[in-house]
Amino acid sequence: MSTAIVTDSTCDLPAELIAQHHIEVVCQHILWGGQSYKDGIDIGGASFYERLAREPELPKTSQPSPNEFADAYRRARENNNADSVVCITISKHLSGTYNSAEAGRALVDFPVVVIDSRNVTMALGLIVLAAAEASQRGASADEIVQVANQAADKAHVFFAVNVLEFLHRGGRIGNAQRLIGTALSIKPILTVRDGKVHSAETVRTRKRALARMVELARCVESGTVQASVIVGGADDADALANDVQLALSPVRLLRATLCTTLGVHTGPGVVGVAVLGV
């Protein structure tokens, strides 16, 4: 008996790890300028953030359909010669993706378990990676579900945006907060708790935001961790990765680019740190 792993493109896992662990990724959709793009395939990377910074029109995002998930379940099962599938998605409080994944489960005739990660970006990615590694060790579907749920309890992400404008335009903060924050050069540090985005702290400079994210990541998991640095249209990756390595000594340190689906709401210049206690 073997189990294939499916997730969605907000996991932000590097392509080489997706290929190495035979993870099937279902793409989110970006609607922009009358065009529809598959997140990470048709649009992504530095060019997306450059366009986001200069264009007045904010893109829209759309979750995958139930049929897209059903197709992914079938591909994952066939490509991995698997008997069952475990699908791990972005928090259901942040997207309708989980509901689509659940609906897709009813469209196939083999066992599929859908798990709400209660997280996003590389916090989700590290959970998915833990599940995929368990699968490759020969764990059963029930054991993989247990691994994923335990990882979800120990996964954390902190991220800082460069400007508040995109959170405002996306309806995440009000105009008064945007104007006050911009006037005071406030850099909010955001986190995900219980599947929802919360403000962790606000600081006055980007340099302090980067340092404080590392401190917060060190506090939430005091033992051995895996970690990831996440950037979207920013050039802080090297310095941030060095700080994470010195402060946390992770057993694994990954680098990831924030996907376009999330970048729509954060804007260019976003940086983050994800950790998973092991």
Residue 160 and residue 200 in contact, taking contact as beta carbons nearer than 8 Å: no
Structural domains of the chain in order of their starting residue, each with its CATH number: 3-152 (3.40.50.10170), 155-277 (3.30.1180.10)
Three-class DSSP category at 41: coil
pLDDT tens, position by position, 238-266: 999 999 999 999 999 999 999 999 998 88
The alpha carbon torsion through 190, 192, 193, 194 (nearest 10 deg) reads 150
pLDDT of residue 166: 61
- List average pLDDT for each run of 10 residues in the chain, which is 278 residues long: 95 97 97 93 88 88 97 97 97 95 97 98 98 97 98 95 66 43 65 88 87 94 91 91 96 96 88 95
Spatial distance between the Cα atoms of 38 and 51, rounded to a whole number of angstroms: 16
pLDDT tens, position by position, 10-30: 999 999 999 999 999 999 999
pTM: 0.93
Residue 113 and residue 84 in contact, taking contact as beta carbons nearer than 8 Å: yes
